[in-house]
Structure 1
């Protein structure tokens, strides 16, 4: 790779990224992404093929290069940065931020998913394919699962997969770090396994969050923290994600704002909005009526 210019390496990294995380790349994508001519994009694909001949195969019918089973990335893809890229539709391929060191610290992650697992899941979701996984749960240990994934989600503490679970015949969350093997299946899924049938995912829940009426002495500080307007923060969140958000921010969800302690600085004013939402066992103070 040393013989290539920085700009060429960027384009080769883009090809590597597209193959790894979407399973395919086209000449027109390279032309559009880098504002190149067709001949230049063709050269880049040839350079990539010369450096990694087993990584991709061209399909004359679809006019696309597809990932092969022998694929091995020629660039390093950091798991945490890749998840952020995927969440923000960034596909530059490079993980380096250059020579500048920025004075910013982020919390140290306690768990980092495997990059190969992320790649297989991303490919399956983008290409609408079901998967077979080896998954280890707290209740039943390790075993094979048939899943139809539709989203990778950051719940604030860890990453998980939202998927239709063929074992329980329901849509559920699966922690990424507990998935140890992914096999993409060459089959189509019936309509009942489609994301549109995941009602908890499709339903948006409006949350009205205010400074805690009992635990906060100076509510103006909390209003400034969260950019509240007229003393309230309004957030629309997927029903499937509501419990995670409320737990992450320690939002008191009890009927009478009864939770005490300095960690409870926020209160959910419209508790009734949670009716019918799942995963609320983790919402602080919430009691099912």
Structure 2
């Protein structure tokens, strides 16, 4: 039946589906404002969605909002990788559910694609200020259960992870999304010290000064052009919590004297002292907190 519905209305139905999946609720005004349609048209869209998937939503008369039910099954297929990219760029329209225009541009093969329903539950928790209990497979502890207060989902260039306060270790940590097997909401509301504002590594921005590697590059002008450098210098600001990921992804030599050799090290971190008191730097190439 979806194939017989006009494209514009399918977009709006996909948006309703997307909001129910990732937010857990949707208001008629959300639809009206997003697509600039009248209230009557919005009402018809919700009526159509309820006809197609009657078990997916329930209306709360007090809040005047539709909520996801426990029996919810997405009406559209939401591709995990594309949806994560859209969420990361604040393009939460759900249009991928009905197919975007495809351009002849290829991306690297993706080996790490999280379960879309796991992602949806975590996003719901973040948007609604909820804590969650997750079944997680840890490299050091195997299968464990953790109570988390998530506040961000991040692409570190190699895989997706969720940044969250871990109630067991009482600290903010990164958890790989593909290692999460199940997510459930818990009643214990987040405390102020568990929320994003208290994540100092996340809130703190640090400057990185990158230059062409002084020993591994014969023609540094090529590197300057690759990274849009000015006077052989690229200055970027990054969250302290993300610094290690960026330095690893770009294979930045973090040694004091640019000591790493090999064609993969095309950049050198000129101001390595900026990394003082930054955690998660074990993956930064050549970084030694002692400065050796």
TM-score, structure 2 as length reference: 0.96
Unaligned runs of 5+ residues in structure 1 are none
d(CA) in 2 for partners of 1:193 and 1:213? 43
Could you tell which deviates more after superposition, 117-126 or 86-95? 86-95
1:18 matches 2:19: yes
SS in 2 for 1:31: helix
Partner of 2:175: 174
d(CA) in 2 for partners of 1:181 and 1:155? 22
Give the number of equivalent residue pairs.
287
Quote how far apart the aligned CAs of 1:229 are. 1.2
SS in 2 for 1:287: coil
d(CA) in 2 for partners of 1:246 and 1:193? 27
TM-score, structure 1 as length reference: 0.97
Partner of 1:247: 248
d(CA) in 1 for partners of 2:149 and 2:40? 39
d(CA) in 1 for partners of 2:238 and 2:42? 41
SS in 1 for 2:4: coil
Where do residues 110-259 of structure 1 align in structure 2 (5 Å cutoff)? 110-259=111-260
SS in 2 for 1:58: strand
Runs (4+) of structure 1 moved beyond 2 Å? none
Quote how far apart the aligned CAs of 1:187 are. 3.8
1:84 matches 2:81: no
Partner of 1:32: 33
Partner of 1:97: 100
Quote how far apart the aligned CAs of 1:50 are. 1.2
Unaligned runs of 5+ residues in structure 2 are none
Q: Which deviations, in whole Å up to 9, do the C-alpha atoms of 1:169-188 show, x marking residues without a partner?
A: 10000000000000022442
Quote how far apart the aligned CAs of 1:168 are. 0.5
d(CA) in 1 for partners of 2:224 and 2:209? 13
Aligned residues: CA RMSD? 0.9
Where do residues 28-67 of structure 1 align in structure 2 (5 Å cutoff)? 28-67=29-68
d(CA) in 2 for partners of 1:194 and 1:106? 34
SS in 1 for 2:3: coil
SS in 2 for 1:123: helix
